[in-house]
């Protein structure tokens, strides 16, 4: 079994790390560079930085922040928010990012996934899917969870995988920030059907939730924010717990 990854997520607004519940009720969680350096030192496998208002406000992702982060940490990190073009991606990768994450731009122009995979390689391309449960299934949302679409989540996941996405960052909006557990049914469905890694996101509250994401949910990685930002679950403690459960993690 491949080693499972633990990924702290830092949502960025106006240069600060923030966290909300169900994508709203945002509050400050600290300096992103300092937090990133701390998580790297504590044993995080990767980091994800998402500029949560970049798409809505039509701003570029903060390239300068990426440079500062790259200078301070020694683990891979992904950057997303407001990325629309090959040029945007090139700037971020040259600033030090290892991967980029696209969401709204991919929904608006699915061919962008093909274009980025050809230009930079699938290993650099993460497609983020923000999804919410409706009465008749799961559907994709864009613009930081503000805009519903009629796109069914599984169908979209299949399409972006076929177009060359290297990973899918799957965020359950109904679970996000609740600390009540990941949406395991959907995570397992994508993990089982698709041939690319699935990162589970939304709902982590206990160490058992992470174990469930890797076992029941069959995820390749688990991403969380609040439990790390506010010290609820220290990363070394979480990794020791997962190892005790027989789940392969990096030391």
Residues identified as active-site: 11, 130
Query: 38: phi > 0 → left, psi -120 to 50 → alpha, else beta; which?
Result: alpha
Look at residues 136, 99, 141, 111 and name the one whose alpha carbon lies nearest to residue 7: 99
Phi and psi at residue 121, to the nearest 5°: 95, 145
| Distance, C-alpha 192 to centroid of its chain | 19
Structure tokens at 245: 């459960």
Q: What does the angle CA 176 – CA 123 – CA 182 come to, to the nearest 5 degrees?
A: 20
DSSP 241: H
Look at residues 34, 36, 43, 31 and name the one whose alpha carbon lies nearest to residue 5: 43
Four-residue CA torsion sign, 235, 238, 244, 249 = negative
Sequence-separated (6 or more) residues with CB below 8 Å from residue 93: 100, 120, 124
Let me know: does 149 contact 141? Beta carbons within 8 Å: yes
Q: What is the dihedral of CA 68, 70, 71, 74, to 10 degrees?
A: 140
Give 32-61 as a DSSP string: HHHHHHHHHHHT-S-EEEEETTTTTTT---
């Amino acid at each position: 079994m491949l080693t499972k990854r633990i990924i702290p997520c830092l949502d960025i607004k106006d240069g600060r790390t923030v966290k909300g519940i169900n994508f709203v009720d945002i509050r400050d969680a600290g300096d992103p560079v300092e937090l990133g350096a701390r998580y790297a030192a504590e044993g995080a496998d990767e980091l994800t930085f998402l500029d949560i208002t970049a798409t809505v406000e039509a701003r570029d992702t903060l390239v300068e922040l990426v440079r500062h982060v790259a200078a301070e940490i020694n683990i891979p990190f992904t950057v997303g928010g407001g990325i629309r073009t090959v040029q945007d991606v090139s700037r971020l990768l040259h600033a030090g990012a290892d991967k980029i994450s696209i969401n709204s731009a991919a929904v608006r122009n699915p061919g962008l996934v093909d274009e980025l995979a050809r230009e930079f390689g699938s290993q650099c391309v993460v497609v983020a899917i923000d999804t919410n449960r409706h009465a008749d299934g799961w559907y994709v949302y864009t613009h930081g969870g503000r805009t519903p679409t009629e796109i069914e989540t599984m169908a979209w996941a299949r399409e972006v995988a076929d177009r060359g996405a290297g990973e899918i960052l799957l965020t359950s909006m109904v679970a996000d920030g609740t600390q009540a557990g990941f949406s395991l049914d959907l995570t397992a469905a994508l993990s089982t059907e698709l041939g690319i890694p699935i990162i589970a996101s939304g709902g982590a509250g206990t160490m058992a939730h992470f174990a469930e994401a890797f076992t029941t949910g069959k995820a390749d990685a688990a991403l969380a924010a609040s439990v790390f930002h506010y010290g609820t679950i220290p990363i070394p403690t979480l990794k020791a717990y997962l190892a005790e459960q027989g789940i392969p993690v990096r030391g």
